[in-house]
Amino acid sequence: MGLAAAVEELRTLILSFHPIIVMETVEEERVQQVLQTLAPTIPLPLFEWSVTRGLVRLPCAVGRALHGTTEPLLALGNMAEYTVEAIFCLQDFVPHLSEPQVARKLRELARQFSQTRSTIVLTGATVTLPAELQDYAVRYTLPGADTQELRQMVKAVLTSLKDKQPVKIDLQPWQMEELLRALQGMTLNQARQALAHAILVDGALSAADIPRILERKAQAIHAEGLLEYYPVTEPRTALGGFQRLKQWMQRAQMGFTPEAKALNLPLPKGILLVGVQGCGKSLAAKAIAQEWGMPLVKLDVGRLYDKYVGESEKNLRRALLLAGSLAPVVLWVDELEKAVGGGNDTDTGVSQRFLGTLLTWMQEKTQPVFIVATANDLTPLPPELLRKGRFDEIFFVDLPDEAERERIWQIHLHHRKQDPAQLDLPALVNASEGFSGAEIEQVVVAGLYRALYLQKPLDTALLLAELQQTIPLSVSRREEITHLRRFAQGRFTPVH
């Protein structure tokens, strides 16, 4: 969705007598652009307020700030006395609502504006309203910059830089589209800075700049703290076993092709991976993204729920919106049961609202965002999440069998520059029955540390000794794993 759609949606809100519109965003420039495009279509005059400038009519060429309106209370009083309907955009106004007089005046103004087309637009990075103002306000999420908006930004940056120094453009049309996709998901200002930086590195705009922009995007997403970004260029992930999942992946990938679109086939929704800890669910999420050539973003819902008590739903909506702006993308929702399970005294209904937000988004999303959700414990997961149609498939990840353990040993030994042929691999596979992939990896790591300490090459005896000293989850949590296996039997598709 671009700015044209944003203008139309805001126009509808204003014409339907919403006195307060809340827009949580740091992109003041884009808010101003939307409102300046919108105001003449109604038509209504547009005013903008900040504590440093006061109330100014836009465009700024119209006039200077109204005298005395840097004071929030005086600014609201001036707006109340304005005899013509108008749009008033108040920037970072919420902190002033801690003053009872200001909060009361805004409430009176909202009641007055609810009978007219006059509207107050509250903007800021975080907008939390007092309870008495909630009924007057509607929240609107400013969409991220679309391809057309980004294309215009690229032209503007090139024009600006060419005035200062020559810029060589070496991009095929398809590479330009790839560049625009790389810029998606950032704010317009972040995208502008990333593009300018990439050009100034070598005085050219070429395909070599795309990885640089992706790196900047990963930094920007990481700084926001809601998602962790893994670009397509991440090192390949070796996944031992999982043959049924791999076959399913190859078929599901066809859902993103033009041929599937021509047949009106829906995009693949996603999968849920449930099962024993340490058996490769996280690796599977990375492998799917790499196999399909898509970036991967990780949403750790457990951390989100713990860290943002009281604001979890808002942060989830923001994270899902950001994931949609990065499409096509694989969204890895880690430890799903921590977010939607609830069942504790401090939950206060957040998990149910979290679940409702997630289910609604899964049902209504139209962007190619493929979900890979993982869960270690099925008990807290509500039935509505497991019913047919929520996910394309639910896979059960069990402990690796003999052939898979052999492949896992080979992967981890090769990764740490050891030759499996120099070891008694059948003996290691036999001795590691009941071990997860993660536990086998830790045995290899511990064995190599012991070999370094003893100043000798890694051998089978060292690894067997580490295996004997390790108590796997299949032993320490035997009852839980047995229950999990029984519950999954006949209900979910095994990955092996």
pLDDT in tens, the chain (496 residues): 567 788 889 999 999 999 999 998 888 888 998 999 999 999 999 999 999 888 988 876 555 667 778 899 999 999 998 888 999 999 999 999 999 999 999 999 999 999 999 999 999 888 888 888 988 999 888 887 888 888 989 998 888 887 777 888 888 888 888 888 888 878 888 889 889 988 888 888 888 888 888 888 888 887 777 888 887 766 667 777 788 888 999 999 999 888 998 989 888 999 999 888 888 888 888 889 888 888 889 987 766 765 544 567 777 887 887 788 777 889 999 888 877 765 444 555 677 778 888 888 888 888 889 999 998 877 778 887 877 778 999 898 888 889 889 999 999 999 999 999 999 999 999 999 999 888 999 999 999 999 999 999 999 999 999 999 999 988 988 888 888 888 878 788 887 7
DSSP 142: P
27 domain-assigned: yes
Task: Find how far residue 163's CA is from the centre of its chain.
Answer: 37
Query: What Rg value do the Cα atoms of the chain yield, rounded?
Result: 28
The answer to whether 7 and 1 have CB atoms below 8 angstroms apart is no
Return the amino acid letter for 153. Answer: M
Question: Is the domain of 411 the same as that of 393?
Answer: no
- pTM (predicted TM-score): 0.71
Do 292 and 328 fall within a single domain? Answer: yes
3-state secondary structure (DSSP) of residue 78 = helix
CA within 13 Å, CB half, 16: 10
The residue range of the domain holding 27 is 3-139
383 with 466, same domain: the answer is: no
CATH number where 407 lies: 1.10.8
Both structure tokens of 16: 């339907």
Q: Are residues 217 and 253 in the same domain?
A: no
Domain identity same for 362 and 424: no
Identify the domain boundary among 110, 139, 168: 139
Considering the domain architecture, whether residues 33 and 163 belong to the same structural domain is answered as no
Q: Which residue has the tokens 């414990």?
A: 377
First to last CA, the chain: 41
The verdict on 453 and 365 lying in the same domain is no
Spatial distance between the Cα atoms of 101 and 111, rounded to a whole number of angstroms? 15
How many domains in the chain? 4
Walk across the sheet containing 329-334 and list its strands. Answer: 228-230, 296-300, 329-334, 369-375, 270-275, 393-397, 493-494
Are 107 and 250 within one domain? no
Q: Minimal CA–CA distance to 118: which of 48, 45, 57, 30?
A: 45
Judge if 108 and 219 occupy the same domain: no
CA distance 221 to 215: 10
CATH number at residue 321: 3.40.50.300
